[in-house]
Structure formats: structure tokens, C-alpha cells
Amino acid sequence: MSIWVEFRCENRCNPSSGTNKRERDRCDSHDNNGPQGLVDESRDGMLAGIRALEVEARDDGWSRTKYGWICGYCASQPMVMAELEAERQQALAAAS
């Protein structure tokens, strides 16, 4: 048996993700276009599968940030880090 794993861009809900723009001019996750695939359900299989998807992500221009993985489109947007930090601050405030 296998488990479906898909990377979703952490910036996908922020304005800089280009929600209303056309494909290729917006976040990969708006088009379900992130690294994805079936991985073996065993613990070792999942870890190996996720590592392979991380390699694919980097090859496709994704970046790992302290907020999580972001797609190449979002990584090129000037406001992305400010928006991700604001989102994190809101989550921290809501949790306290």
C-alpha cells in the first residue's frame, strides 16, 4: 500500500501568491503543481519518499524557509517573507 504526499506552498494563502492571476503567473499550489507522488506506507518508505520529493522541489525552484516550503513563484515575490512572518505572528497571537 502507498500514501499520497504532496508539497503545498506555505505562501499560498497570502496576497503575494497571485491568487487572481493566470497559471504560470501565480503560486504553484493554486494549480496543484507541487512535488507529489505515492510513497511506501512504511516509516522508512515515507522518509525516503519525502526526501526524494525534497530533491524534486529544489530542482523545480522551491525553497525551504523557516516557515516551510515555498514555490519558486512565491520565492521571487518581494513581500513573501514579510507576509509569512505576519501570518506566523497571527497564529502565535491566536494560540496564546
List residues binding Zn ion (CB under 5 A): 9, 11, 27, 71, 74
Note whether 49 and 39 are within 8 A (CB). Answer: yes
Neighbouring C-beta atoms of residue 45, cutoff 10 Å = 15
The minimum distance between CB 3 and Zn ion, in angstroms, equals 23
Q: How far is the CB of 48 from Zn ion (least distance, A)?
A: 25
**In this structure, are residues 94 and 87 in contact, taking their beta carbons and an 8 Å threshold?**
no
Residue 46 or 63 having the CB closest to Zn ion: 63
**Cβ of residue 1: shortest distance to Zn ion, in angstroms?**
30
Of 40 and 60, CB closest to Zn ion: 60
Which lies closer to Zn ion via its Cβ, residue 48 or residue 86?
A: 86
Q: Which is nearer to Zn ion, 42 or 88 (CB)?
A: 88
> Cβ 43 to Zn ion, closest distance in Å?
29
Cell of 90: 497571527
Q: What angle do CA 80, 34, 55 make, to 5 degrees?
A: 95
Closest by CA to 51, choosing from 66, 67, 65, 64, is: 64
